[in-house]
Homo-oligomer: A and B are copies of this chain.
């Protein structure tokens, strides 16, 4: 674990990003608590609710910048919106199909084995695992 609030401006600086009002506020929302999964829309709504004036475009830009800087991770979910995860370490997800929500699965709990030999000249960048859950009894296709 690292330092918490004071570290945010520093964190941005280290990432080569000026700690502006908007970025600080968004970073606070994102990294102030525990691990989070957000979309641009959801974060924007949250900012509005917190009386932080930020345009949606800036939220998009900020999320992309944070991702490029390694502060966030993009989660591949099919469908329209893009999700960002504040937990950038290696871990996997439950995806709640009805609700559309994401929940972390701790890395240590899940293990992948038997990865066959890779196409030559290739190496693993990372592995995304999404366990899709549905209400028990919704039956199968």
Chain A residues in the interface with B (C-beta under 8 A):
70, 74-79, 82, 94, 96-97, 103, 105-106, 109-116, 118-119, 121-138, 140-141
User: Bound complex: CA of A140 vs CA of B77, how far in Å?
Assistant: 23
Complex interface: chain B residues within 8 A of A112 (CB): 110-113, 129
A130 and B131: CB pair below 8 A? no
Q: In the A-B complex, list the 4 residue pairs whose CB atoms are closest, starting with the nearest.
A: A76-B78, A122-B133, A125-B132, A109-B116
Determine how many copies of this chain the complex contains: 2
B122 and A136: CB pair below 8 A? yes
Q: Which of B123, B129, B138 is close to A136, meaning CB atoms less than 8 Å apart?
A: B123
Closest to A136 in B: B123
A130 and B127: CB pair below 8 A? yes
Closest to A98 in B: B122
Q: Which of B77, B110, B127, B138 is close to A114, meaning CB atoms less than 8 Å apart?
A: B110
A125-B134, A131-B127, A133-B125 known; A109-B118 Cβ under 8 A: no
User: Bound complex: CA of A110 vs CA of B129, how far in Å?
Assistant: 12
